[in-house]
Structure 1
Amino acid sequence: MIILGLTGSIGMGKSTLARMLREAGIPVHDADATVHRLLAAGGKAVAAISAAFPAVSRADGSIDRRALGQQVFGNTPALRRLEAILHPLVRADKAAFLARCRRRRCRLVALDVPLLYETGGDRQCDAVMVVSAPYFLQRQRVLARPGMTAETFAQIRARQCPDAEKRRRADVVVPSGLGKAVTRRAVKRALTHLKRG
């Protein structure tokens, strides 16, 4: 089974690319979606995060992600505490996904991980696909998100490996700033190449 790492900086189009991979029949494990499940009511991370960050618990039993973000951005010790809770749970979910895919004899699977290089997740991958767009477009996309500020965007970018470094290290770079048709063609070419081995 070929494991494809899918990554890209915030606002580069990872979600669109992951959707294209799913449409092509490729199983995709989404690390962000896993975190959302872990923080939802009944999620496996709720108790530990509520204990570590009491002010972020909601009455419905979920975690207020915005309040949690406010507590950890710019606070390295708090961020490390959060990562110590979440990362093992995300890794366990990813391992279960890969085990299911192996049992189903999938030829190719993708791991959608925003911090793939930053966490060393690329070492588990046979190839890495990076989605990239020009900075002006990245900034425009990110600042259009509800609640996003230029300051938060700058903090997120500071934690991420620079786009140029990601592109340099990637096996495949998919452009997302030239329209979806161009992105789709690049994905199709990459998948054909990867499936050939």
Structure 2
Amino acid sequence: MRAFTVKQPWGAAIAHGPKRIENRTKAIPPKHLGSRILIHAGAAEDANALPRDMVRPWPQHFRAIVAVATLAGCHQDQGCCRPWGFPDTWHWELADVQALPQPPRPVRGQLGLWTATDDVLASVQQQIDLKTTSPLTEQQEAWGVYCPHGKQIIERDPDLTDPEGQPASRIVNPWPCTVDGCTLEAFEADQQAEIDEYCDAVNALISDQYR
């Protein structure tokens, strides 16, 4: 099962507050759309993240799995999803958020989407039934990836699941957007750039460890 890491108080705002948008530089990888995901609060704190009038006494845990959610969809910012959605980012849409009463910790986070260990999953499973199907995975039209012009470009594949039993996805065919520059080739190039960026970051970390 995959996880992503956020700083506090963002983790608490997801687990215990109304934050249902995660801001990222890239779209959700299509194969993870509609899947359940672990929300991990890292060791760092973004002390000035929230305006004073948005600060609440939410429980804050560090280096911990604080919630489970569904990656319901994503879209590029169009001045929407305020106050949680940031400009010039992809907005990852979170649904079915369940806070963990006893967040497993310490858990070390990683870049991007990462795979939780078996012992972490076992601790989460004791508190939340991870096998329960999210309502969103039963509604093909309820999630997907959308281009900047509002066209759905990734949809659920009703005939396939991935090795983890999560619903698979596919690129909409034919390509639905007719705006100049919004093409399948451009989308695939963007996805490849995301993979290259992740690999470069991993290689940099490995290089730093062995200097």
TM-score of the pair, normalised by structure 1:
0.31
Task: Report which of the two has the higher share of helix.
Answer: 1
User: Which structure has more RCO (C-alpha within 8 Å, separation ≥ 6)?
Assistant: 1
Using the size of structure 2 for normalisation, the TM-score is 0.29
